[in-house]
Chain A
Amino acid sequence: EAQVTQNPRYLITVTGKKLTVTCSQNMNHEYMSWYRQDPGLGLRQIYYSMNVEVTDKGDVPEGYKVSRKEKRNFPLILESPSPNQTSLYFCASSYLGTGMYDEQFFGPGTRLTVL
């Protein structure tokens, strides 16, 4: 089954304790992206990757890191989480083409609470 998986689905942590949210897709997509969703602000892009070893900042990258060592995986790293990073996080992936762009597939989300 074609899918984007994220782990963990729920996480409660404390300020300053490093954490990683994993994202994996099995569709051989070049493009992967992280979004966060906050009430009243909607979904905003954090980081994206066009392919292996190619990553770049989105609209709200502060406090986050990513890596793309393999095509299927795109982990989101919070090295020193703070309460303002409490949010619902989504990973997404899609093909990249010329002209026609395929739909983005989303993972189930990770609800993060930073105390």
Chain B
Amino acid sequence: KQEVTQIPAALSVPEGENLVLNCSFTDSAIYNLQWFRQDPGKGLTSLLLIQSSQREQTSGRLNASLDKSSGRSTLYIAASQPGDSATYLCAVRAQGGSEKLVFGKGTKLTVNP
């Protein structure tokens, strides 16, 4: 059974700092991995999608990497801003069966001015 773990559960940093969020998954049989952002009580905003054959994806100040063999992904946020404060969710699309996304429980990020 696929399980996704995100560490740390919460992170507080000063504005301007570069930071890394971690995601690990137990089964390497995935189609892709997606990083989302969720503001309190709101929906999910897709940030980056990495296909299983890819190693990384970049969008603006965000860079996500994928090491499928070791079951790890990282989300790197450069020059963090208070507007980056949110919960970041990692999800893998499992192969076979329901094709569902299996989510981690998220990292709650607070960027302090």
The residue that B43 contacts in the complex, of A31, A100, A103, A107, with Cβ under 8 A, is A107
- Which residues from 61 to 113 on chain B have a C-beta closer than 8 Å to any C-beta of chain A? 89, 91, 93, 98-101, 103-106
Chain B residues whose C-beta falls within 8 Å of the C-beta of A48 in the assembled complex:
98-100
B103 / chain A contacts, CB cutoff of 8 Å: 42-43
Question: Size of chain B's interface in residues, with CB distance under 8 A?
Answer: 22
B46 proximal to A (CB < 8 A) = yes
Q: How far is the CA of A40 from the CA of B89 in the complex (A)?
A: 13
Instruction: Please indicate the chain B residues that have their CB under 8 angstroms from the CB of A59 in the complex.
Output: 100
Count, chain A residues at interface, CB 8 A: 27
Residue contact A45 to B100, C-beta cutoff 8 Å: yes
The residues of A that contact B93 with a CB separation of less than 8 Å are 101, 104
Contact of B51 (CB < 8 Å), options: A40, A92, A101: A101
Chain B residue nearest to A104 (CB atoms) is B101
Q: Quick check: is A90 within 8 A (CB to CB) of the other chain? A: yes
Q: How far is the CB of A46 from chain B (nearest CB, A)?
A: 10
Complex CA distance for A70 and B99, rounded to whole angstroms: 20
Q: Output the least CB separation between A88 and chain B (Å).
A: 8
A100→B32 CA distance, assembly (Å): 8
Q: A42-B104, A101-B93 are in contact. Are A56 and B98 (CB under 8 A)?
A: yes
**Is the Cβ of A58 less than 8 Å from the Cβ of B106?**
no
Q: Within the assembled complex, what's the spacing in Å between the Cα atoms of A40 and B9?
A: 11
Residues of B within 8 A of A (CB): 31-32, 34, 36, 41-44, 46, 49, 51, 89, 91, 93, 98-101, 103-106
